[in-house]
């Protein structure tokens, strides 16, 4: 539904200045959105409340249990495919979450396609360069995991459409791009395939979203070590991508006035919310 109203969001700076914890700020900002009724503010508040509910202790315990169950399954896959793997988990930071929600509202994108608040990432330790074999392995691990989740009572949601521009030819020629999908037939619509459709900056990965019938919703990302390196340090580095992606979101903060522990700025002025970041690394594989 296209919004015809003038979009105006409550001041986030003032809220963060007045609160001592991120949880207090989160709750009060939702209250402000509710106090200024409009379709856009109601959508905004609904999404923030949905994700805040996912941080309830019972929900986090469910996610913790899921993490260790996935880890045990990956141990078996590590032995089966003779490759070491790394499993990480993260929670989208509060500022990044607000930026994304605002852009979705401004651009009339459906709120239900924001599904990357919580997620797991599987990195295959395959070396610094990709080959046809490592690309194929990415898909094989994805297919194994999708079957694992389905057999254990989960649903796979339809993948969000890829809206990125075409990959630059100078970058594309350095990538290995399969000529056809290697996803299990019938499940192509459940996978956001950035390996066959790399982002403009060369980012490659496989994404799918898992919804537990009686538990949490989370995103799974699968990539090789070469893809990981490119995403962290190379042409697909997330920081400049995020700077361009979120321009226009309208969130500018004066950190010197914010007392919430964990807020800081990186050298280029980008805000890092360490309170909202949950990142644990668990490398494992053949012993």
What is the distance between the alpha carbons of residues 135 and 82, in angstroms, rounded to a whole number?
Answer: 15
Tell me the whole-structure pTM to 2 decimals: 0.77
Three-state DSSP at 184 gives: coil
What is the distance between the alpha carbons of residues 137 and 139, in angstroms, rounded to a whole number?
Answer: 5
Return the pLDDT at 279: 38
Domain boundaries, the chain: 56-284
What is the distance between the alpha carbons of residues 19 and 246, in angstroms, rounded to a whole number?
Answer: 25
- What sign does the CA torsion over 114, 61, 271, 202 have? negative
What is the distance between the alpha carbons of residues 118 and 141, in angstroms, rounded to a whole number?
Answer: 20
Provide CB contacts within 8 A for 96, sequence distance 6+: 242, 246, 273
Decide: residue 156, CB within 10 A, 0-12 exposed, 13-18 middle, 19+ buried: middle
Q: What is the pLDDT along the chain (287 residues), one digit of tens a residue?
A: 556 567 889 999 999 999 988 889 999 999 999 998 899 999 999 999 999 998 888 888 888 888 889 999 999 999 999 999 998 887 888 888 898 899 889 888 888 888 888 888 999 999 888 999 999 999 999 999 999 999 998 999 988 766 566 777 777 888 999 999 999 999 999 999 999 989 888 889 999 999 887 777 889 999 999 998 888 775 544 444 444 444 556 677 787 888 887 776 554 444 555 444 333 334 333 32
Kind plus residue range of the DSSP H or E element containing 171: helix 169-172
């Amino acid at each position: 539904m296209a919004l015809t109203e003038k979009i105006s969001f409550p001041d986030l700076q003032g809220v963060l200045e007045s609160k001592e914890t991120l949880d207090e700020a989160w709750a009060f900002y939702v209250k402000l959105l509710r106090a200024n009724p409009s379709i856009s503010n109601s959508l905004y508040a609904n999404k923030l409340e949905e994700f805040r509910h996912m941080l309830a202790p019972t929900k986090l315990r469910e996610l913790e249990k899921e993490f260790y169950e996935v880890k045990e399954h990956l141990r078996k896959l590590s032995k089966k495919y003779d490759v070491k793997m790394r499993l990480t988990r993260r929670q989208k930071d509060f500022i990044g979450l607000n930026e994304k929600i605002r852009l979705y509202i401004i651009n009339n994108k459906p709120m239900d396609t924001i599904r990357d608040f919580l997620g797991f990432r599987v990195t295959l330790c395959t070396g610094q360069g990709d080959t046809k074999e490592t690309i194929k392995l990415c898909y094989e691990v994805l297919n194994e995991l999708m079957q694992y989740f389905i057999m254990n009572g989960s649903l796979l949601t339809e993948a969000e459409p890829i809206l990125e521009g075409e990959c630059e030819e100078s970058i594309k020629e350095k990538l290995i791009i399969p000529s056809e999908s290697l996803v299990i037939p019938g499940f192509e619509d459940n996978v956001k395939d950035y390996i066959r459709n790399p982002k403009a900056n060369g980012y490659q990965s496989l994404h799918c979203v898992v919804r537990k019938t009686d538990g949490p919703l989370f995103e799974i990302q699968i990539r090789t070590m070469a893809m990981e390196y490119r995403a962290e340090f190379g042409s697909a580095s997330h920081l400049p991508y995020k700077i361009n992606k979120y321009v226009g979101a309208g969130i500018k903060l004066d950190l010197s006035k914010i007392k919430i522990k964990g807020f800081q700025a990186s050298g280029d002025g980008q805000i890092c919310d360490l309170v909202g970041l949950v990142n644990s690394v668990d490398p494992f594989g053949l012993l």
